Structures are given as C-alpha cells and as structure tokens.
Chains A and B, each alone.
Chain A
Amino acid sequence: MHRIAVVVFPGSNCETETLEAAASAGSNVHCVWHRDTELGQVDAVILPGGFSYGDYLRSGAIARFSPVMAAVAAHARAGGPVLGICNGFQILCEAGLLPGALMRNSGLRYLSRPVRVRVEATDTPWTRLYVPGEELVVPIAHGDGRYVVDERTAAELEAEGRIVWRYVAENPNGSTRDIAGVSNAGRNVVGIMPHPERRNTPVLGGTDGARVFLSLEADHATQHAGGVRAVGGHHAEL
C-alpha cells in the first residue's frame, strides 16, 4: 500500500474525488494543506484539479509559490512519483517540474466533456497498467488546456517518449502535437489535463481512468508478489 499526499490549495476542487479514486485503488491517502511545509512520509504526491488562487495572473502561477511546493519539488527531484491533474498539471509547469505551459483553449470556451486519448507512454508510475497505443475515454474540464512548448522541446519530448497521453479524433484545445499529458525526463513526474478520477468506476460512465491510480499500487504489488513467489514457490491466491 502506497502513502499518497493530495495537496490542497485555496481553490482546489477535485481533491475529494482524487482521494476517493486513490483509496479505491488501495492507496493510503491523505490531504496536505498548501501552507504545510512537509509532506510527511509519503511515497507519492498528487496535485488535484481546480482553480488555485482563482487562476489569478496565470493558471498555477501563484500556487507554485505555496510553502508546500518546496517539499513537492524535493520529492520530485529525489525521484518520487508526482501526478498533476488539470490545475495540478498547470502548477507543475509553472513550477518548472514539467516543461511548457498551458494557455487559453484555442476556441476560448471552457470545455467539460469526455474526450478520447491514446496512451503513448507506459513507463511512468501512473500509466504502467495501460497498454501502449490503447485508447481511453476520460473527461476534460478546463479553460486553459492548450499545452504550449517550443518546437525544440516538443521534438525532444517526442524523441524521448515523454508524451504520455495524446488527444485522438479531435484536439479540444489546440495543444501542440495534440498533447494531453507529458512526463519529466525521469518519468516520475507526470501532468495530464483529463481527469482520471472522474472516470474510475462504472457509475461514473466508465473505468478508463482507474488504472492511473492502480498503476502506482501495481508497482508495489509486483514487488510483493515476487517476494511471495520466491519464498513459497507458488502463487498465493489474491
């Protein structure tokens, strides 16, 4: 079981669903207030969706200076898994933990609806249970979702396999190279615009988002199962 901290900023509004989705996947989850300076003993950090600081100046621009962000950056630099969803993705970009920036949707309208994305990278702690090339339906809910990055960095992301999710069929916000999510060079920090926590159980219309949270636990389960096998010589029934 992984211990996950979900960071809550003034204006975050997806922390409850995110807590619930991670708990359903078997994680031990708690919220951390943005003014806290320590995360405690955690294995992973999630920055949830919302409108931190009212999106003043730019989405995520002010949240990145919250006291807790120094601890998040230290966790990320030490290789710890970090996931930013929507506003969390915007904050990670503003904090320089991910390249690029998120700008106003090309059609100007705030969009809240399911979109189709293709899983491009499965070598991250948040996507390892997906199949490369698999297509998912996950909801977006953003006004500033157009991922922008200079051409050289875009080519680098492509070459290094750091584009994690890409919009297929239609690009809802005009993002560079249809990007819906990227990772850092170490693969431990991932940012995605769609909301997997809103699509993790049949009652929400589908389960395509569930494996984001299950992926983190799968890493641990694999190691654990390996240990059991080594000792017992046979599979324990799960």
Chain B
Amino acid sequence: MPAYRVEIRVMPRAALLDPQGQAVGRALQALGFVDVEDVRVGKHLVVRLEAATQDAAAARARSMCDRLLANSVTEDYQVLVEAA
C-alpha cells in the first residue's frame, strides 16, 4: 500500500478564550509588531501511514482526530494529506 504523509492542524475553537495566543500576541506587540491583531496557538501533528488511497488516508486521520488527537468540546481540526 502507498504511504501518505498527513498533516493535522488542531486549533482551539474560535469562540473560546486562547490565553496562550493572547500572551504571544502581546509579546509580538512588545517587540514592535504593532500590526498584529490576533494570535491563536494550536498544535501541528505529522503522521505517516499506509493506506489504499489518499481519501482512505484522510478518513483514517479524521478518525484519529475524533478519537484522540482533538477534543471535540474545545478544538477544531484540519487534515491535509500528501503522498509520502
């Protein structure tokens, strides 16, 4: 089976307070990046896996997100698949 490289982006829900993002935003402002309006901090995971097709790899990755990698109460995720 072909190998795929899956990039998974997990972000705190837009409606929820992200104190980490706020702190980073304030630090950027202090460094003179005054044009910064908003910063949000999330997680970036890279998973290598074998699957029959690209769609199958994406479905597999979404299942991983639903069961472990993201918390559906507080986080949203995005899955990007490419051939490894």
Contacts and interface: CB of A to CB of B under 8 A. Distances in A.
Interface of A: 57-58, 61-62, 65, 93-94, 99-101, 103-108, 146, 148-150, 174
A103 B68 contact: no
Given A101-B73, A148-B73, A148-B74, A107 B68 contact: no
A101 B74 contact: yes
A105 B17 CA distance: 10
A104 B18 CA distance: 8
B20 interface: yes
Interface string B45-73: 00000000000000000000000110101
25 contacts: A57-B68, A58-B71, A61-B68, A61-B71, A62-B68, A93-B73, A100-B73, A101-B73, A103-B12, A103-B17, A103-B74, A104-B19, A104-B20, A106-B19, A107-B19, A108-B19, A108-B20, A108-B23, A146-B17, A148-B16, A148-B73, A148-B74, A149-B73, A150-B73, A174-B17
A106 B17 contact: yes
Contacts of A57: 68-69
Nearest to A64: B68
Contacts of A104: 19-20
The 6 A-B residue pairs with the shortest CB-CB distance, nearest first, are A101-B73, A101-B74, A108-B19, A101-B71, A106-B19, A148-B74
Contacts of B69: 57
Contact of A105 (B16, B19, B71): B19
Contacts of B74: 101, 103, 148
A146 B73 CA distance: 13
Nearest to A107: B19
Contacts of A149: 73
A150 B74 CA distance: 9
A146 B69 CA distance: 20
A107 B20 CA distance: 9
B41 to A, nearest CB: 10
Contacts of A103: 12, 16-17, 74
B64 to A, nearest CB: 11
A184 to B, nearest CB: 15
Contact of B71 (A94, A99, A146): A94
A109 B40 CA distance: 18
A89 B61 CA distance: 28
A174 B73 CA distance: 16
Contacts of A150: 73
